[in-house]
Amino acid sequence: MSWKGFTKGVTRTPQTIKQRFNLGENTKDAVYIDAERRFQELETETKKLHSESKKYFEAINGMLNHQIEFSKGVAEIYKPISGRVSDPNSIIPEGNPEGIRACEEYESIVRELLETLQPELEMIETRVIRPADELLEIIKVIRKCAGKRQHKQLDYDRHRATHQKLRDKKEKSLKDEKAMYKAEAEVEQATQEFNYYNDLLKDELPKLFVLEREFIQPLFQSFYYMQLNVFYTLHERMQGINIGYFDLTEDVEAAFEKKRGDIKDQVEALSICRFRATGGKKPGVGPKPGKLALEGRSSTPPSRRQTLDLEGPPPPYASSLSPKLNGTSAIGRANSTGSSWGAAAKAKGAAPPPPKPKPSRFSQVPVAETATALYDYEAQAEGDLSFITGDVIEIVQRTANENEWWTGKVAGRQGQFPGNYVQLN
């Protein structure tokens, strides 16, 4: 923007604000407003036509190129990783020669199809995209003319308001008379310029709309027939594919299942397909802590990983560890509560006496709190503390609820363990 244009923009700013908020007198031409609305729609739809036709052109090219790349990818999967110890088929020259041959045939057919369709796609470029682009260039020129008309309207309303203000002034000085004479000249010039652009657009925009309809009709017809030729060629060539690797006589889904066989079951049977990133239960691991203990453990720091299975109740204790009530094993992990664990501890009998604490040098030093393990516990995740029945555990941190995770030490090792696996001494 030039300096002259900038100064004009600053001068028109007050009138632009008045027009936007409908303040004061603003010139309104109903005929031009309707023509401007239709022109705006024409501009929007022409941009959309240009954009969508270009996307269609790129989509057909992209579809065929993706088919070629797809066949290359499948062929690479069929080929063994020659010379690699990790590939059991590395000694075989070709892993699936029939499949590789089918991929090569399919790729050659798609390449030939791409060459066949190239003239049709170029016609879309020349008969649809390029004319739409030319129409957009014409619309840009008309849009610039409409902008010029808008500026002249602002000048016309601005000079007319100034002239009206001077004319309504009761006592006019010599300076006011000169200003009024100047304002009259500016109003006359602004009126001529505004009427020129306003009448020009009102007269020629309807003619543009008629020409636009005549332009769109052959454009749409050409696009329709070109699209029909593209789809017909695609259908005819794909229908005529005769690759022995594919059985086209069967239903698509049935042929797929027949080719696949039991490969899915074999893959799912591999241990690596069921790999869990978190630590899981190892074979021979003892009973897990109850659900209440898991809920209490949620207060541990975020870095700790939860490794216990929450989907179902934990299994009951083994008969060698479960206390007998009335001759039957009555305690199960699925129904474990704080009271049942206390009853289990009492029913099991007195725990072996803990070792005597070391004598303190000073009387004010408190004696460490200890607990005796009622059951074996093997660490389920990093940070857990493993112990066996009868171990004396030094309590580092614990809560008042035995159905939560406590922290303790045993044999120089420190970690977390379920509080309902031990009994405080």
- In this structure, of 95-104, 228-237, 240-249, 375-384, the range with the lowest mean pLDDT score is 240-249
DSSP string, 276-320: -SS--PPTT--PPPPHHHHHHHTTS-TTSPP-S--SSPPPPPPTT
Handedness of CA 310, 312, 318, 319 (dihedral sign): positive
Q: Could you tell me which of 150, 149, 153, 179 has the C-alpha nearest to residue 166?
A: 179
Cα–Cα distance between 372 and 421 in angstroms, integer? 9
| Residue predicted with more confidence, 3 or 122 | 122
141-177 per-position pLDDT tens digit: 999 999 999 999 998 898 888 888 888 888 888 888 8
Structure confidence at residue 381 (pLDDT): 86
92-121 per-position pLDDT tens digit: 555 678 888 888 888 999 999 999 998 888
| Residue predicted with more confidence, 311 or 352 | 352
- In this structure, of 131-140, 176-185, 265-274, 286-295, the range with the lowest mean pLDDT score is 286-295
Pairing mode of beta strands 422-424, 328-329? unpaired
What does pLDDT average to over the chain? 77
381-421 per-position pLDDT tens digit: 888 999 999 999 999 999 988 889 999 999 989 999 999 99
Mean pLDDT of 345-356: 55
pLDDT-based confidence at 89, cuts 50/70/90?
A: low
Mean pLDDT of 259-283: 71
> What distances in angstroms separate CA 101 from CA 51, 63, 74, 95, 133, one per listed residue?
40, 22, 11, 11, 45
> What distances in angstroms separate CA 142 from CA 49, 51, 194, 353, 410, one per listed residue?
18, 20, 16, 100, 88
Mean pLDDT of 347-361: 54
Would you say 132 and 50 are in contact if contact means Cβ atoms under 8 Å apart?
A: yes
140-150 per-position pLDDT tens digit: 999 999 999 99
Tokens of 135: 């129409």
Structure confidence at residue 353 (pLDDT): 59
- The fraction of the chain above a pLDDT of 70, given in percent, is 73
283-340 per-position pLDDT tens digit: 444 455 544 444 444 444 444 334 334 344 344 333 333 343 343 333 333 344 444 4
In terms of residues, how long is the chain?
Answer: 425
Would you say 243 and 106 are in contact if contact means Cβ atoms under 8 Å apart?
A: yes
Structure confidence at residue 90 (pLDDT): 54
DSSP 362: S
> What distances in angstroms separate CA 310 from CA 126, 193, 291, 382, one per listed residue?
65, 82, 8, 18
Would you say 314 and 288 are in contact if contact means Cβ atoms under 8 Å apart?
A: yes
DSSP 312: S
Half-sphere exposure of 164 (CA within 13 A, CB side): 8
Structure confidence at residue 267 (pLDDT): 86
pLDDT-based confidence at 84, cuts 50/70/90?
A: low
43-77 per-position pLDDT tens digit: 999 899 889 988 988 999 999 999 999 999 988 88
